[in-house]
Chains A and B, each alone.
Chain A
Amino acid sequence: SQTIHQWPATLVQPVGSPLSLECTVEGTSNPNLYWYRQAAGRGLQLLFYSVGIGQISSEVPQNLSASRPQDRQFILSSKKLLLSDSGFYLCAWSGADRRNTEAFFGQGTRLTVV
């Protein structure tokens, strides 16, 4: 069966420090991968999605970037964190097969920038 791993679960970082959040998927190949941010425990904002290695689409211009160095690995990064980057970050995957249409989410990373 497929599983998604996201770490760390919580992170406290000072303003201006770098960020690297990692997400990996097991049990499937060529997944679509997503990074979402959830602010104040409510709506999800799509940050990046990827349909293949090296293919990244950015939805919202901001202080973050994403990379997909391997088929089932998706990394969210920042060179210098801002206070406004605080939030709950969720990684998700969906199947490339059109029959597998739903997305599956990781457990999230709570990022607090201080």
Chain B
Amino acid sequence: AQSVAQPEDQVNVAEGNPLTVKCTYSVSGNPYLFWYVQYPNRGLQFLLKYITGDNLVKGSYGFEAEFNKSQTSFHLKKPSALVSDSALYFCAPRASGTYKYIFGTGTRLKVLA
């Protein structure tokens, strides 16, 4: 079965510090990989994606993610966290050749002032 894991239920980080939100996946082939952010009672917003090419991809709001094929990971990063980054973050692989996005349980990021 295809799956995604975000091992940390919550990540706390001080404002101005770097942040990492972890994601590993088990999806056949070469999946497309996505990160989304959700603010309370809102829909999900697309942050960034990896399709092919450079392992480090940059996205919205200063976020970036690093793809590691051997570890089947796609960790979300940001060099300097803002309080406004506090939200729920989802990693979502999509197997190539399919239309289904696989969402995990998400990681709640809390940035402390």
Partner of A43, one of B32, B34, B94, B105: B105
Q: A90-104, CB under 8 A of B: which get 1 and which 0?
A: 101010000001111
Interface residues of A in 67-114 (CB under 8 A from B): 88, 90, 92, 94, 101-108, 110
For residue A7, CB closer than 8 A to chain B, the reply is no
**Contact-size category for B:** 20 to 34
* Chain A residues in 8 Å Cβ range of B46: 102-104
Residue of A nearest to B9 (CB): A42
> Once the chains bind, are A42 and B44 in contact (CB under 8 Å)?
no
**Contact-size category for A:** 20 to 34
How far does the Cβ of B61 sit from chain A's closest Cβ, in whole Å? 15
For residue A27, CB closer than 8 A to chain B, the reply is no
For residue A51, CB closer than 8 A to chain B, the reply is yes
Residue of A nearest to B101 (CB): A103
For residue B100, CB closer than 8 A to chain A, the reply is yes
Q: How far is the CA of A43 from the CA of B4 in the complex (A)?
A: 11
Closest 10 CB pairs of A and B: A105-B43, A44-B103, A43-B105, A105-B44, A107-B43, A32-B99, A102-B46, A101-B32, A42-B105, A108-B43
Can you name 4 extra interface pairs (CB under 8 A) apart from A46-B103, A59-B100?
A42-B106, A46-B101, A90-B43, A106-B43
